[in-house]
Amino acid sequence: MPDIRPAAVAGAFYPGDRTTLIHDLGALLAAAPAVSGTPPKALIVPHAGYVYSGLTAACAYRWVEKLADTVTRVVLLGPAHRVAVRGIALPGVTAFETPLGIVPMDSEAVAAIRDLPQVIVSREAHRLEHSLEVQVPFLQQTLGEFTLVPLVVGAARPEEVAEVIEALWGGPETLILISSDLSHFHPYAAAQEIDRGTVRRILGLHVGIDHEQACGGTPINGLLAVAARRGMQPELLDLRNSGDTAGDRGRVVGYCSVAFREAAHVH
C-alpha cells in the first residue's frame, strides 16, 4: 500500500470538491495570458488561497501546460509555515493526494539527495504545510501524470538549497518550482513598493531575499544562486497583491510569478 500524505488544506485554500476544483483551475488558466517562446526550466509561483493568488499562479502554469509532453518530474520547494525545520525536509511518504488524485513521489530523486547533510525526513513538517500542497492541483491539471519531489525548506543557507536543486536539476524532463508569496500585511501602496523592489532583486539574480520580502526567501535564494551560476534569464510573468484580487487594501499579501530560462547554448 502506498504511504500517502492526504490533502490538508483542500476546502480552505482551494475547493475540496473535485468538480469545482477542475472548474476553478480551468477558469484561472483561461483568464491568464497566453504564452509563447522558450519554456522555462524553473518558476517562482505564489501559494495563497486561489481566490487571492490563483491568477498570478495561473500566469506561470500557462507555461507548465506547454511542458505537459516534456516534464515528468517536478521538484517543488516551499517554506515551512507551521513547523520549525532545520534544513530541507522530505515528507517520508510515497505519494501526495489532492481531490484530483494521487501523485507519486520520485523515489530515484529522493535517493539522490537523501544522504546530503542538509536533507532530513519530517512527516510533521509536511503534514499541514500549504506552500507545497496548493501547487499540486495546478500541476495535476496542467501536466497530467508526473512524479513529485516535495521539499519543505526551513533554516538553510542559500548554498545548501542550491546544492539540492543542482542535484535534482536533470534535463528537460525536470521542472523546478519554488513556492513563495511576497511581503505580508502592509498597506496597499507600501506593499507595492516593497514587492517591486523584491522583484527587481529577483530579476537581477541577487541572492539575499529575506523573509520580510518573501516568505519563501530561503528557497528563492537557492534558486537565484543556481540561476546566477548558470546564466539563466528571469522574466516577470505577473505581479499583484491580495488588494488587487479578493482582499481589502489595508493589509495585503504580495504575489509574483517569475520564469527562469536556461542560457541559450552557443555552438
Residue 90 domain flag: yes
Are the C-beta atoms of residues 51 and 62 closer than 8 Å to each other?
no
Q: Which residue has the cell 518550482?
A: 177
Q: What are phi and psi of 119, to 5 degrees?
A: -95, 125
* 182 occurs within a structural domain: yes
Q: Tell me how many domains the chain contains.
A: 1
Residue 66's closest CA among 239, 261, 263? 261
Inter-residue contact 21 to 100 (CB < 8 Å):
yes
**Which residues have C-beta within 8 Å of that of residue 31, sequence separation ≥ 6?**
55, 58
DSSP 133-170: HTHHHHHHHHHSS-EEEEEEE-B--HHHHHHHHHHT--
Q: Let me know if 106 is exposed, middle or buried by CB neighbors in 10 A (0-12, 13-18, 19+).
A: buried
pLDDT of res. 2 = 76
Neighbours of 80 (CB within 10 A): 22
- pLDDT above 60 (res 267): no
What residue numbers bound the domain in which 181 lies?
4-261
> How far apart are the C-alpha atoms of 152 and 125, rounded to whole Å?
7
Q: Kindly report the CATH number assigned to the domain that includes residue 234.
A: 3.40.830.10
Considering only CA atoms, which of 212, 198, 238, 211 is closest in space to residue 43? 238
User: With 90 as the cut, is the pLDDT of residue 1 above it?
Assistant: no
Residue 144 within a domain? yes
Beta-ladder partners of 147: 73
Mean pLDDT (whole number) for 100-118: 98
Task: Let me know if residue 203 belongs to a domain.
Answer: yes
What pLDDT score does 141 carry?
Answer: 98
pLDDT tens digit string along 204-227?
999 999 999 999 999 999 999 999
What does the block give as the cell for 259? Answer: 520564469
CA distance 182 to 210: 10
Q: Which three cell numbers stand for residue 76?
A: 517543488
Contact predicate 53/85, CB 8 Å: no
Q: What is the mean pLDDT of the chain?
A: 97
| pLDDT confidence band for 266 (50 / 70 / 90) | very low
More confident call, 2 vs 157: 157
Q: Is residue 69's pLDDT more than 60?
A: yes
Q: Is the dihedral of CA 18, 23, 26, 31 positive or negative?
A: negative
Is 267 a domain residue? no
How much is the average pLDDT of 120-126? Answer: 97
Cα angle 163-98-162, degrees, rounded to a multiple of 5: 5
Is the confidence at residue 265, as pLDDT, over 70?
Answer: no
